Amino acid sequence: MPNLSGLPPELEAKRLQAAKAYNKVALLNLFVAMGLLVALPFLVMRFGQLAAAVYLLLVVLPGMAAGLYLAVKRGDAYCREIGLLCPHCHQPLFEARSTAYLTGSCPKCRARVASVQ
Ligand SMILES: [Zn+2]
């Protein structure tokens, strides 16, 4: 597999590990959210639209936000466990929504972590 990140091979391997771990948590979040949304039509039929709207606003949306927050926090903790940290600011080098790592730069402080190969 080609190294697209510009990171040294050992950091690239750790970055891929962190990405896979994050993707597992994100996929779990997606399945939980889908499960919560499946209940929506049954709530409408049984209790009406107001109950379904309350369920959506008080259970589904906060649940999805909490799942995303936990995925990010778990990703940061995993980066610390495997040592995927910026040598400059000591923050995790993996960020799911960032493409900064593709340039070999830290997504937090933007410092160069490695020269682009
Ligand atoms: Zn940094």
What mean pLDDT do residues 66-72 have? 88
CA of 105 to the centre of ligand 1 (A): 8
What is the CA(89)–ligand 1 centre distance, in A?
A: 4
Q: Does some domain include residue 2?
A: no
| pTM passes above 0.85 | no
87 belongs to a structural domain: yes
pLDDT higher than 70, residue 65: yes
Structural domain boundaries enclosing 31: 9-103
Domains: count for the chain:
1
Given a cut of 50, is residue 103 above it in pLDDT? yes
**Alpha-carbon distances, residue 29 vs 3, 15, 36, 108 (angstroms):** 29, 21, 11, 25
CA of 99 to the centre of ligand 1 (A): 14
Does residue 3 sit within a domain? no
CB atoms within 10 A of CB 64: 16
Rounded to whole angstroms, the Cα distance separating 43 from 39 reads: 6
Instruction: Identify whether 24 is part of a domain.
Output: yes
Residue 108 in domain: no
In whole angstroms, what is the distance from residue 53 CA to residue 40 CA? 9
* Residue 20 lies inside a defined structural domain of this protein: yes
What spacing in Å lies between the alpha carbon of 39 and ligand 1's midpoint? 43
In this structure, what is the dihedral angle of CA atoms 55, 59, 64, 65, given to the nearest 10 degrees?
Answer: 120
Max Cα–Cα distance, the chain, nearest Å:
60
The reply to whether 41 falls in a domain is yes
